[in-house]
Amino acid sequence: MSSAPALGIDLLEIDRLERALERRPRLAERLFSQSERSYAGEQARPAQHLAARFCAKEAVTKALGLTVFRPLEIEVRSRSNGAPELALSGATAARAEQLGVRLGCSLTHSRLTAGAVVVGGPL
């Protein structure tokens, strides 16, 4: 069990992700679940929402002290009230269980920047 609370934060310039996705069209499939891509695709500016989700994935990685980034093991879902929730799988879920933490996140974005904060508490 971890003696310190799990905490991670990440920020990203949205146009940086937009350019990367334009250059490498299959990148979205390597970073985001089908559900995440579908949700973003329904929005006016999909990259804003994908960028916030990418930040959440990075923040989870930091909060859990992982050395390998496994974006498809971290899915950001929307609750019925629109609030984000994290679904972990694979080695990422195993690490959270090993630390004895359940993670929550908050997402944000402006026209230029997206960000996420992830905090964990005891199971």
Closest CA to 51 of 8, 17, 9: 17
pTM: 0.94
Residue 79 DSSP class: -
Tell me the C-alpha distance between 33 and 39, whole Å: 10
CB 22 within 8 A of CB 47: no
Tell me the C-alpha distance between 15 and 21, whole Å: 10
Query: Each residue of 46-83: pLDDT tens digit?
Result: 999 999 999 999 999 999 999 999 999 999 999 999 99
Query: Each residue of 111-123: pLDDT tens digit?
Result: 999 999 999 998 7
Domains in the chain, start-ordered, CATH in brackets?
Answer: 6-122 (3.90.470.20)
Closest CA to 114 of 123, 103, 105: 105
Tell me the C-alpha distance between 119 and 7, whole Å: 5
C-alpha distances (whole Å) from 14 to each of 30, 51, 120 are 18, 6, 26
Residue 45 DSSP class: S
